[in-house]
Amino acid sequence: MKKRIVVALGGNAILTTDPSAKGQQKTLAQTAYYLADLIEIGHELIITHGNGPQVGNLLLQQQLGATEQNPAMPIDTAVAMTQGSIGYWLENALVDELEKRNISKNVATILTQVVVSETDPAFQAPSKPIGPFLSESEMESEKKQTSATFVEDSGRGFRKVVPSPKPINIVEYPVIEKLVENGIITIAGGGGGIPVVRKNDSYQGIEAVIDKDFASEKIAALVHADMLVILTGVAHVSINFNQPNQTDLTNVTVSDIEKYIDEDQFAPGSMLPKVQAAITFLKENTNGKAVITSLENIKNLLSEETGTIITA
């Protein structure tokens, strides 16, 4: 049975060890191979993706080369720029993979604006990691040159953090929905979307980065998706992670996940926003299903053979 599925790609589906354009294009070709399995079955697909390393790297490049005549762009514009570059690479990778399989499908990338509130408390407490992982000495050097805030991220080093407000609405969701209804594979919400606020009857960019899982959930709810699939680097959500009693979760309910959140089982900025996004989606669509798993397991997720499957 055909389903409308929003697939949120994790960073490992775009960038591994080679941050060059060629390296990221190679990784996305592998990603397209897995995504094409869902398309081949006949499902309607909306693909979202992160951009944390890319937008952070772009901001660093701009800062290093900034002059009065050639100033660095603000974060919202950098998000738009990386939406375009990653969408361009992914769109071409999908077209190439579908042609190999003799599947006649159009692919479109939609520059996506996400409405947030200026009064969101996130603006007073930056929390979203962007850019490369830094050693402690590199981080201290960066802090001397900027007023940025840094945090230790998952034991892999220090990263810059910026405000991460919650999405209120997706400006282009009617366009996304119409594209999908017409059989077009749609790439949207890149990097969590371009953060905008409504001012003086127009949308204006604001300095922030929206979590791509929350933006993906908002898109899924607005286009009435049957399933939200959040792809990450592990096959399952786990409790007691990295401990001798680690347990992988398979089939769980919203109430189960909420209990584990109360127990602080999920790391903020890592697995926590993924399970929170899944909960929000299922509360808005009680007949839907949310799955958190790895890219490599995507072919089996519809047969419920793998991953963490969450239902209302």
Q: Which residues are designated catalytic?
A: 11-12, 128, 212, 274
Look up residue 302 and give its DSSP letter.
G
Q: Edge to edge, what strands does the sheet with 202-205 contain? A: 169-170, 113-115, 194-199, 202-205
CB count in 10 Å sphere of residue 236: 18
Residue 158 DSSP label: E
Task: List the strands of the sheet with 289-294, edge to edge.
Answer: 107-109, 185-187, 44-49, 4-9, 227-232, 289-294, 308-311, 251-253
Strands of the chain, DSSP E: 4-9, 44-49, 107-109, 113-115, 128-134, 149-152, 158-162, 169-170, 185-187, 194-199, 202-205, 227-232, 238-239, 247-248, 251-253, 289-294, 308-311
Nearest to 20 by CA among 117, 85, 76, 69: 85
